[in-house]
Amino acid sequence: MTEPRLSHLDAEGTARMVDVSAKVETERVAVAEGRVRCDAETLRLVEAGLAAKGDVLGVARIAGVQAAKRTAELIPLCHPLPLTHVEVDLACDAALGAVRIRATVRTVGRTGV
């Protein structure tokens, strides 16, 4: 059995961008989830829209969309992709003491998101 190899490394171990020109275009979807923990009072203010910085969740949602659009600039060897959809959902979870974040990105292309 052959040992699996990383697609971004050539035979000599040099980092390179993968050639996807021969691949067929298909729908690609990526979902990422995480959370930002904070104290109960901060979470209450954010959820109520009363934080001193204003609409924290709204600004975070826009920042998430902007980050998705700039992924190829921020991650080395990442192909630039024309995104067809970006959705960022944020929910305050008092039991967890955090804001739950779920981002979904879609494209049709030769490489994934």
What residue spans define the domains of the chain? Answer: 26-109
Whole-number average pLDDT of the chain: 94
Second-level CATH architecture of 26-109 = 2-Layer Sandwich (3.30)
pTM, to two decimals: 0.86
How far is CA 101 from each of CA 80, 93, 108, rounded to the nearest angstrom?
Answer: 24, 10, 24
Instruction: Provide the pLDDT confidence category of residue 93 given band limits of 50, 70 and 90.
Output: very high
Q: Taking the CA of residue 93 as centre, how many other CA atoms within 13 Å lie in the half-sphere pointing to its CB?
A: 13
Per-residue pLDDT at 1:
64
Q: What is the pLDDT of residues 46-56, one digit of tens each?
A: 999 999 999 99
Task: Choose the weakest-confidence range: 2-6, 27-31, 44-48, 71-75.
Answer: 2-6
Is 60 a residue whose pLDDT tops 80? yes
